[in-house]
Structure formats: structure tokens, C-alpha cells
Amino acid sequence: MSLIILTLPIFWVNKCSTPFIRTAQAMKTLHRVFGYAIVAVAIAYIIFAAPHIVAAQSHTVINAGHLVDVENGRILTGQQILVTDGHISEVGPRVAAPDGAQRIDLSDSYVMPGLIDAHTHLALQEMDGSDIDDHGSYYYASLIEDTSMRVAQGTMLARAMLEAGFVWVRDTGNNGLYGDVTLRRAIEGGWIPGPNMVTAGRMIAPFGGQFQMNPEKPDLGEPEYFYADSHTEIIRAVRENVHYGATFIKLIIDNQPYIYSVDDVRVAVEEAHDMGVKVMAHAASDEGIRNAVLGGVDSIEHGFNPSDETLELMADRGTYLVGTDFPASRLGETRYWSNVERNKRAHAIGVPMAFGSDVVYYEEGKTRGEQTIGFLFSYVDAELPNAHILRMATMHAADLLGANSGRLEAGRNADIIAMPANPLDDVSALYGVSFVMKDGHVYKEGGQFRWDIPTKLNNPRRKQPRGNMLRQR
Ligand SMILES: [Zn+2]
């Protein structure tokens, strides 16, 4: 390339080099032409050669003894995965590994895409000992702890999630004043270990949010909730949220006697989608779910009481259900089995479903990550195929989040986990995750978590570029 650019001006000068025109003007032209040529060579060098010199590619070959083909619900034995610069570049019985590639031996393990939790609250842990009405326990947490304390707690919970095999989470509000955005930036910058995050910022809700206000202290729901009642306020709330770093908008639809209408939801969705940001809706009642679906949201959170008609509407429109089913020990048998029955109906009707936990409390002896895996069992009780449950927690959740993850195929981020037992036989195998790779970086190997304090830090952005979240990244 550079050779051609260099020879062109010489050829041109030779062509014009009769004694008659060998003048000072011709010499000037010659200089100018050589000047252009040098610039052209420099540009060509920057485009074609420099990147390869500046960043040598890193290659890792993983020997995957049992590769869990989540999409087709089967095990492929004796596979290899080639990871190049944080991405999967090839999967097959024998990949073309360059000389000097690093090797990771998982030949005795079951290897699958990293887990994704589409409904977390990393900066919320309920306070114990409260049994007042109106969601008392997390009301207390939001009143007593400031955002900085909750982010400190979130650094611990983020690490717990990654250690358990969760490589992506969608954090769904209840983070004080953008505590989730702070966590996301710290993780993206490599300051702390944790899953990649999608962040909701402040939850947008009709007056009162999810709390019962005291008329002498009407602001106690803030900053947890962003009250927005008119369409102008809703647009403002969406914009302000995105400005401060929300990468997904969350609406609270039906916690008050006055619920968001289809039109209210549509206003928020149009504003958010126009910026490339998706919208989720906290909705429990059939009417609330229906309004949110008709208003165009991307997912329904909780969705405890949908009619079959509403589930059919969700299936038709491709609206995800993120069930968030607390175990019976926490929720009581009646409500738990009602959720199990809803999962059966949703699956039979063909509603797209993504796994989301909603863990917000301690369970002695378990990390937040282990607790989260426990939330998969409402789908086991609903007798959904194990492969489908794994798809909900990998590829389906990735599609909802807009994350380039959830599948072991070329071009995806190298988000890979492994464990000694087969999760297709028993979902409990996920409790034994012994290997975790996120974006090509190993965080857990041989059951041991490892993380080195980085010597090169990034300063990650607060907000995402326009259109980012509707594209895969
Ligand atoms: Zn929640």
C-alpha cells in the first residue's frame, strides 16, 4: 500500500521531466507532491499498521470437556473455545490456536455462557426486625442509609454476584441517588470486580412511588423515586435519568390507587426509545401489566397476576416477563405457588421470559449470588425444561438487556462459566460454579476467586452514547 503511494508522485514527475519544463515552478510542485505523499503514507500507516503494533492480540484456548449447548439443550463433548481480546472468536472440536496462546483446561467441567440476572438491587439490603405496613423494610433501608453506604455495600454484593457466575445484571432502582450508576462506572473502570451492569437510576412513579407518604414529610420517597404525574414531568424524568446515567428506564405502574395509563406509559417509552434506551415496568395487577404492555414497554417486572389474555398480548408483542419469584420461605406457600402457576401459564402461552431475582435481603450462610441462584427454582417447580431455565438466565436475559453475551458463539463477549456437574440434569449444579470469565478476563478458577488491584485505571462515562442500549454491545 505505502509502496504504491510513494511511487505515484515519482512516476508523475518522470512523465513531465522534459528539459523545457524543468523550472523552479516544477520543483515547487514536486515538493508539494512529496509533501502529500508523506502525509498519505502516514495516514495509511496509522490505519493499517499501527493498531497491530500498539495492541498485540491476546489469545486464550479453553478446553471444554462438556460444552452446554443452552440453545438446543444438549451437551457437546470435547470442544474448544478460542478467546481473542475479550471476545469469543471460534468454537469447535479443534480451533485454530495461534502460537503462544494461553491455555485453560476445563476438560472435566461443564462449560456454559455466564449467568445474567435481569432484576437486581445491588445497593439495597432490607433492614431486619421491621414489620410495619407499606413495604416497611425497604422503606427503612432507604431512610436510614445514605447512597454512599449503600454503594459500599453494593461493592460487596457485586463481587458476590460475579463469584457465583453472574456476568451481567440489570439493576432496577432502589439505589438512593444513582448509587447503581456509581457502581457500574467503578466496575467498568476496573476499580472493583463485579458483573457488567445495566442501570435504571431512579424509578419513575406517580406521586408516592411505592411508599405511603406522611403528609408532613412528603419528600421521604425521594431520591429513591422520581415522582412524575403529568406527561411533561414524565418526559423530564426520563431525560434527567438518562442524563445522570440510567441505561434502562424503570416505571412503577400500579403501586398507588392512581396507576399509569397506556398514554402515560407511551409517553415515557417514546422518549426513552428515541434515545435508544429500553423501558421496564414494575407491574403486579392485570390492569397495570396490560397498560404497560400496550404502552410499549420492553419488560414486565414481577407480573404476579396476569390473565391469560394479558399473557397472550405479551406473547404477541414480544414483551418479556421477568418473574422475580421469592422462595416460599420468604413469600409464604400460597403466593409462591400462585407464581409457579403463573410461570406455567406464561411458558405454555409462549411469553418471552428472562430470569430476574429481586433479592433484597440477607439469608444467613449464603452470599447474594447463592441466594440469587435459589430464585431459579420457581421455574423448576413450574416444570419448565432445565434447558429453558438456563436460556432464561443466559441468552434470553442477554437479548432483553441488549448485552452481547449469553451465547458461546463467535463475536460474543467471552462471558463463560464452568462447573463440575451438568446443569441440564439438575439446575442445582449452578451452585458449584468453579470458573468465571467475564469479557475474557478470568475472575475464578479452580473454585478460587481472584482479582488483582489494577495498575491501569479507566475513567468510565456516566452516560451512554445515544442509541446504545437498543443495540447489542
Ligand atoms: Zn425489584
Q: How far is the CA of 358 from the centre of ligand 1 (A)?
A: 5
Q: How far is the CA of 121 from the centre of ligand 1 (A)?
A: 7
Q: How far is the CA of 282 from the centre of ligand 1 (A)?
A: 8
Burial class (CB in 10 A: 0-12, 13-18, 19+), 249: buried
**Residue with cell string 396476569:** 306
Q: How far is the CA of 173 from the centre of ligand 1 (A)?
A: 7
State residue 52's pLDDT score.
43
Q: How far is the CA of 359 from the centre of ligand 1 (A)?
A: 8
State residue 28's pLDDT score.
58
**Residue with cell string 468510565:** 460
Q: How far is the CA of 354 from the centre of ligand 1 (A)?
A: 14
Q: How far is the CA of 220 from the centre of ligand 1 (A)?
A: 19
SS3 115: strand
Q: How far is the CA of 51 from the centre of ligand 1 (A)?
A: 44
SS3 53: helix
State residue 133's pLDDT score.
43
Residue by residue, what is the 3-state secondary structure of 191-223? Answer: CCCCCEEEECCCEEECCCCCCCCECCEHHHHCC
Q: How far is the CA of 473 from the centre of ligand 1 (A)?
A: 24
Q: How far is the CA of 301 from the centre of ligand 1 (A)?
A: 8
Residue type, 223: P
CB 358 within 8 A of CB 375: yes
Q: Which residues contact 270 (CB under 8 A, 6 or more apart)?
A: 296
How much helix, strand and coil, in percent to the nearest 5, is found in the chain? Answer: 40, 20, 40
> What are the distances in angstroms from CA 283 to CA 142, 200, 205, 332, 345?
21, 16, 11, 20, 17
Q: How far is the CA of 62 from the centre of ligand 1 (A)?
A: 36
Q: How far is the CA of 116 from the centre of ligand 1 (A)?
A: 15
Burial class (CB in 10 A: 0-12, 13-18, 19+), 447: exposed
Residue by residue, what is the 3-state secondary structure of 238-287? Answer: HHHHHHCCCCEEEEECCCCCCCCCHHHHHHHHHHHHHCCCEEEEEECCHH
Q: How far is the CA of 469 from the centre of ligand 1 (A)?
A: 20
Peptide bond into 98 cis (omega under 30): no
Q: In whole angstroms, give the CA distance from residue 87 to residue 411.
A: 6
**Residue with cell string 457502581:** 183
Mean pLDDT of the chain: 88
Half-sphere exposure of 328 (CA within 13 A, CB side): 10
State residue 141's pLDDT score.
74
Around Cβ 398, how many Cβ atoms within 10 Å? 26
Q: In whole angstroms, give the CA distance from residue 432 to residue 413.
A: 23
CB 404 within 8 A of CB 415: no
DSSP letter at 92 equals E
Q: What is the DSSP string of 396-453?
A: HHHHHHT-S-SS-STTSB--EEEESS-TTT-GGGGGG--EEEETTEEEEETTEE--PP
Q: How far is the CA of 327 from the centre of ligand 1 (A)?
A: 14
DSSP letter at 127 equals P
CB 179 within 8 A of CB 147: yes
**Residue with cell string 426513552:** 272
What radius of gyration do the chain's Cα atoms show?
27
Residue type, 91: V
Task: Of 54, 212, 193, give the one whose Cα is nearest residue 122.
Answer: 193
Q: Can you give the pLDDT of all 473 residues of the chain as single tens digits?
A: 444 444 444 334 344 344 444 455 554 555 665 556 555 555 554 444 444 444 578 999 999 999 999 999 999 999 999 999 999 999 999 999 999 999 999 999 999 999 999 999 999 987 654 444 445 466 777 778 899 999 999 999 999 999 999 999 999 999 999 999 999 999 999 999 999 999 999 999 999 999 888 899 888 889 999 999 999 999 999 999 999 999 999 999 999 999 999 999 999 999 999 999 999 999 999 999 999 999 999 999 999 999 999 999 999 999 999 999 999 988 899 999 999 999 999 999 999 999 999 999 888 899 999 999 999 999 999 999 999 999 999 999 999 999 999 999 999 999 999 999 999 999 999 999 999 999 999 999 999 999 998 888 778 877 666 665 554 44
Q: How far is the CA of 168 from the centre of ligand 1 (A)?
A: 16
> What are the distances in angstroms from CA 27 to CA 5, 15, 167?
19, 14, 63
Task: Of 166, 186, 192, 163, give the one whose Cα is nearest residue 443.
Answer: 163
State residue 26's pLDDT score.
52
Q: How far is the CA of 159 from the centre of ligand 1 (A)?
A: 19
Torsion region of 81: left, alpha or beta (phi above 0 gives left; psi -120 to 50 gives alpha): beta
Q: How far is the CA of 52 from the centre of ligand 1 (A)?
A: 45
Residues in the chain: 473
- Hey, what's the cell of 214? 406522611
